[in-house]
Structure 1
Amino acid sequence: MLLAPQAQFQERSLPLEAEALQAVALALLQFTPQLAEAEESTLLLDVGASLRLFGGIHVLCRKVASSVRALGFTGNLSCAPTARGAWLLARCHAGRALKMSSLERRLEGLLVSVLPPARQYLSWMEGIGCLTLGDLYRLPRPGLQRRCGRALLDMLDDAHGGRPELHEWLEAPASFHAKIELFDRVENAEALLFGAHRLLLQLTGWLSVHQLAVERIRLLLEHERGRTAGPPTVIEVVLAEPTWKDAHLVRLLKERLAKQELDAPVIGLCLEAPQVQPMAPLSDSLFPEPGGSKEDWQRLLELLSARLGPENVLQAAPKADYRPEHANAWVSIQEKIRPAEARAQLPMDVTSLPRPTWLLAKPVPLLIRDHRPYYGSPLRIRSTGERIEAGWWSDMQTRDYFMAQGEDHAHYWLYKERVIKGAELETRWYLHGFFG
């Protein structure tokens, strides 16, 4: 206390420690499905089959360390040709060994107290001058087994590769549901992003081990508990394209949390993945798509939806109707429109009918100058007329549509109506759209 008077002490909680270790294990499943829990809060990862995918052992170690830090934990990371060897090096901060010869040299100088089965015999070992694993390994095996038991020899053999190592690999749950308790009450929604990122890392590991991609996630913000406690605040993110990468999900949640107003302080977070599907294989195309891939485009749309709201990012959903106002329908980008359904909604001759890129919500009446419609300049008709008729119940009954060109070479979509005014038939022109 004299050296660190500002230090704060917390009562140890073994259940919370086990829960934290499980959270780290679930997040690290994104690097390998072969992960096992070992003694003294240690995780063993068999990454032999993952080295090429992640760019080698050094890059993989950096990614693993970064994931652990992102979860809010610190750990000692090591690697070795054997699982027990890596465990011993990590426990002693003894670095990494990529070859068996290097591992044996590093094990040589480690203290015998690092082996759990040897700790009850430390006094005897000190009495005979056996202080390191190298000294222990050179003792006669029959006498050492009689004195200390078989477990000590088995652990030594595991570290040196003297026998095959068997592990009970972690099995990820069939459905994803993760939660964390916050250290304090949080009243600002943006401050919840760090905790949400921790949950998303666990989701990434769960998706990877099951070879799944998520289409919809649900973040629950838990408030004060008790009789007067209200229901949790639900933030739901729907993706246009399934993903299994946490970076994109973090960006979407960041945008949603920035707009979220909290009715009460938050004391806990819970993340669910109610909608998943099998992970799509990577593209086998030799050359990248110009302008980015389809996934890049979908990620941009999802980010815009999170920032602007799903009701403000729309996609075309044309209806099977010749009346332009009814055919020109738009829905949220989050709604799924299958290609077969889109084709079924359109008339068979839709490709032969000129339609503008931008259809005005309300037609604009045009002036008539020298018997020609006028919009900034006299408009010249460039197409034959297309008559569109509707029933007596509709405001629009008969219109003749034309493509017109102005002096600036811009193209417009006009229609002509004939209105009976008194005893005469009056012609009126309207602007209804612009061609790209």
Structure 2
Amino acid sequence: MRLWIALHLPRLPLEVFCPRWSGDNCTVVLEQERVIALSDAAYEAGVRQGLRRGGAIMLAPQSQFQQRDLELEKEALQAVAMALLQFTPQLAEAEESTLLLDVGASLRLFGGIRALCRKVAHSVRALGFTGWLSCAPTARGAWLLARSNGGRALKMASLELRLDALPVDLLPPARSYLGWLEGIGCMSLGELYRLPRPGLQRRCGRALLDMLDDAHGTRPELHEWLAAPASFHARLELFDRVENAEALLFGAHRLLLQLTGWLSAHQLAVERIRLLLEHERGRTAGPPTVIEVVLAEPTWKDTHLVRLLKERLAKQELDAPVIGLRLEAPQVQPMAPLSDSLFPEPGGSKEDWQRLLELLAARLGADNVLQAVPSADYRPEQANTWLSIQKKVRPAEARAQLPPDMGSLPRPTWLLAKPIPLLMRDHRPYYGSPLRIRTTGERIEAGWWGDMQTRDYFMAQGEDHAHYWLFKERDAKSKELEPRWYLQGLFG
């Protein structure tokens, strides 16, 4: 099934200067000294599109007047396109600030067209833009519906009915002939489509007929798909000096959405990101503040990255106001999608557990969330080391650090912080009750380069049927008649 989503950004000339998340400032955008876009505050003051600059100043003298910047609009449209690559790799740019997404192969993955449209709309709002979405079986049909905010048409029959009612001036080639079309009473696309084709082509040219045929699906459509760059670097210029680090999360989320689209386009997952907070330029310029987030498990979702950055920004103290943000992804690897299990594990998957640890590390500090790593030492108290959760230790490497004969020996799950000396009664160790030795001894002689230890370890059982891990010191220089026994651990 071929289905297209068209996204039209009607307020793009305004929102490159005044995004939705920056507040409703009184902003007016001019082109050739006439108003082409304005904020809600300017509209309430009486400013209208097409008004000259002088009239707009009289009605709203407190407004910020900006000249239209086509280069900024192009960069903003590319940023939106980069973020939307997470939904489909087949994305093309169309006329008049519109993007076309071929989502026929993505419907099942995202739960249907309605769920997919909600996700696209949510991403556009998070980027700070206003978008009109439409769906249609043809790309040009979806483009026309989006330009008029005409909604969805999932079948060709319903699309043709909606197209017939649209105004004829939506087609760019028809705008030069609006006077003639009004003179013959042709005001809708349906009336235009029913005109004799040879005469319409002689009068208006072939481009008009091609657009009509594309919209009705009678002509094959060709598109040039947008390609993601080989490496990811995104930058955002802030519209004011920001002195509170937590206020930077909105802009950082916009950059993370672009990263998500780039990762999906290349089928990659990110292991480390760097957010650079740019400060003043010129003579007072200083180096950017770097916030680095290292992930225990690679991810390609923006939600987890946003939570981590939120925790880091909440603890960040700014030495100077921030005027720009830059996001980099210096460490990526091929994406390994999760496989759904028929019987999922209670308490969440391994990935959920890793995300929890990463969130705790971002909140408490990487040095305060530790993981146990085995060490190549026979001494029980030296056989384990604690490393930061951000340092990756693969299971194969951890097993390789163990001595070769450690796997078959009984070791308790609860090791005491300090061995407890035991009493001796009737030549037997005593801990609440006499202890009976149940295994042969395990001899340890290690630490000759430092803390030399010579011990014999045994598993013992008390009268309460609990099992204990004891060791007996072997010291040839000791003058005691009976060996000294110690409790080292408890078996579960």
TM-score, normalised to structure 1, is: 0.91
1:49 partner amino acid:
A
Aligned length: 434
Matched, 1:4 2:45: yes
Structure 2 counterpart SS, 1:167: coil
Contact 2:232 2:259 in 1 (8 A): yes
Distance 2:294 2:305 in 1: 10
Asked if structure 2 preserves the Cα contact closer than 8 Å seen for 1:365 and 1:430, the reply is: yes
Contact 1:418 1:426 survives alignment (8 Å)? no
**Which amino acid in the other structure matches residue 366 of structure 1?**
P
2:435: which partner in 1?
A: 380
SS in structure 1 opposite 2:200? Answer: helix
2:11 maps to which residue?
none
**What is the identity, as a one-letter code, of the residue corresponding to 2:150?**
A
Q: In the alignment, which residue of structure 1 is the partner of 2:266?
A: 210
Q: Deviations over 1:147-192 (max 9, x none)?
A: 1111111111111112011111100101111111112222222222
> Residue 100 of structure 2 contacts residue 143 of structure 2 at CA under 8 Å; is this kept in 1?
yes
2:288 and 2:468 mapped to 1: Cα distance? 52
Change (3 A) 1:336 1:60: same
Aligned equivalent of 2:375: 319
The answer to whether 1:97 aligns with 2:153 is yes
Q: How does 1:416-431 map to 2 (within 5 A)?
A: 416-417=472-473, 424=480, 427-431=483-487
- 1:249 is aligned to 305
What are the Cα deviations for residues 210-237 of structure 1, in whole angstroms up to 9, with x where unaligned? 1111111111111111233221111111
Change (3 A) 1:8 1:421: farther
**Given the superposition, is the C-alpha separation of residues 52 and 318 from structure 1 closer, same or farther in structure 2, using an over 3 Å criterion?**
same
> What is the letter of the counterpart of residue 423 of structure 2?
I
Contact persistence 1:222–1:269 (CA under 8 A): yes
Farther off after superposition, 187-196 or 48-57: 187-196
Alignment of 1:205-244 (within 5 A): 205-244=261-300
CA contact (8 A) 1:366 1:374 kept: no
Letter in structure 2 aligned against 1:144: L
Equivalent position amino acid for 1:340 in 2: A
Matched with 1:122 is 178
What is the one-letter code of the residue matched to 1:17? E
Q: What CA distance in whole angstroms lies between the structure 2 residues aligned with 1:123 and 1:427? A: 112
Match of 1:355 in 2: 411
Q: Larger deviation: 106-115 or 379-388?
A: 379-388
CA 1:227/1:406 → structure 2, altered by over 3 Å: closer, same or farther? Answer: farther
The question of whether the paired residues in 1 share the 8 Å contact of 2:456 and 2:474 is answered with no
What residue is the counterpart of 1:307 in the other structure? 363
For 2:346 and 2:207, the matched residues in 1 are separated by 60
Once superposed, what is the RMSD of the aligned Cα atoms? 2.6
Aligned position for 1:25: 81
Instruction: Map Cα deviations across residues 184-217 of structure 1 (whole Å, 9 max, x no partner).
Output: 2222222221111111111111111111111111
* Change over 3 Å in CA distance of 1:346–1:2 after alignment to 2: closer
Q: In the alignment, is the contact (CA less than 8 A) between 2:275 and 2:291 conserved in 1? A: yes
- Note the C-alpha offset of 1:14: 1.9
CA contact (8 A) 2:470 2:488 kept: yes
Of stretches 218-227 and 300-309 in structure 1, the one that deviates more from structure 2 is 300-309
- The residue identity in structure 1 corresponding to 2:251 is G
1:269 to 325, 331, 337: 325
Partner in structure 1 of residue 169 of structure 2: 113
**Structure 1 residues 200 and 434: alpha-carbon distance in aligned structure 2, compared to 1, 3 A threshold:** farther
Partner of 1:187: 243
Task: Indicate the SS of the match to 1:289.
Answer: coil
Deviation at 1:411, TM superposition (A): 5.0
Q: Which has the higher mean CA deviation after the structures are superposed, 49-58 or 254-263?
A: 254-263
- Partner Cα distance (1:374, 1:230) in 2: 68
- Provide the rounded CA distance (Å) in 1 between the counterparts of 2:462 and 2:286: 62
Q: Superposed, which structure 2 residues align to 1:139-178 within 5 Å?
A: 139-178=195-234
Q: Is the Cα contact below 8 Å between 1:85 and 1:159 reproduced in 2?
A: yes
Of 368, 381, 398, the match for 1:342: 398
Do the aligned residues in 1 keep the contact of 2:445 with 2:452 (CA within 8 Å)? yes
Amino acid at match of 1:119: R
Q: Is the CA contact (8 Å cut-off) linking 1:379 and 1:404 kept in structure 2?
A: no
Partners of 2:365 and 2:454 in 1: how far apart?
A: 38
Aligned AA for 1:184?
D
Identity rate, percent = 82
**1:86 is aligned with what amino acid?**
A
Secondary structure at 1:398 match in 2: strand
Deviation at 1:403, TM superposition (A): 3.9
Distance 1:184 1:129, change over 3 A: same
Question: Separation in 1 of the partners of 2:353 and 2:288?
Answer: 33
Question: Residue deviations 1:270-315, cap 9 Å, x none?
Answer: 1111111111143264332344322222222222222222222222
Question: What are the ranges of 5 or more consecutive residues in structure 2 without an aligned counterpart?
Answer: 1-41, 47-59
Q: Which runs of 5+ in 1 are unaligned?
A: none
Cα distance between partner residues in 1 of 2:146 and 2:79 = 20
Distance in structure 2 (CA, Å) of the matches to 1:165 and 1:285? 41
What is the distance in 2 between the residues matched to 1:241 and 1:325?
Answer: 29
- Residue identity in the other structure for 2:294: V
Deviation sequence 1:70-123 (CA, Å, 0-9, x none): 111111111111111111111112221111111111111111111111111111
Q: Does 1:71 align with 2:71?
A: no
State the partner residue of 2:423: 368
Structure 1, 1-10 or 45-54: larger mean CA deviation: 1-10
Q: Secondary structure of the residue that 2:141 maps to in structure 1?
A: helix
Shift of 1:247: 1.2
Indicate conservation of the 8 Å contact 1:356/1:433, yes or no. Answer: yes
Structure 1 residues 120, 407: closer, same or farther in 2, change over 3 A? farther
Residues 364 and 265 of structure 1: CA distance in aligned 2, closer, same or farther (over 3 Å): farther
Q: Aligned partners of 1:143 and 1:418: how far apart in 2?
A: 110
1:61 aligns with 2:122: no
Gap change, CA 1:2 and 1:41, over 3 Å in 2 = closer
CA 274–422 in structure 1, closer or farther in 2 if over 3 Å, else same = closer
Structure 2 counterpart of 1:368, one-letter code = L
> Is contact 2:136-2:142 (8 Å) kept?
yes
CA displacement, residues 300-350 of structure 1 (integer Å, 9 cap, x when unaligned): 222222222222222232122212233212322222223332222112221
Taking structure 2 as the reference length, what is the TM-score of the superposition?
0.81
Identify which range, 347-356 or 1-10, moves more after superposition. Answer: 1-10
User: Aligned with 2:330: secondary structure?
Assistant: strand
Distance of aligned partners of 1:228 and 1:369 in 2 relative to their CA distance in 1, 3 Å threshold: farther
Name the CA distance, whole Å, in 1 between partners of 2:291 and 2:434: 52
* 1:20 shift after superposition: 1.1
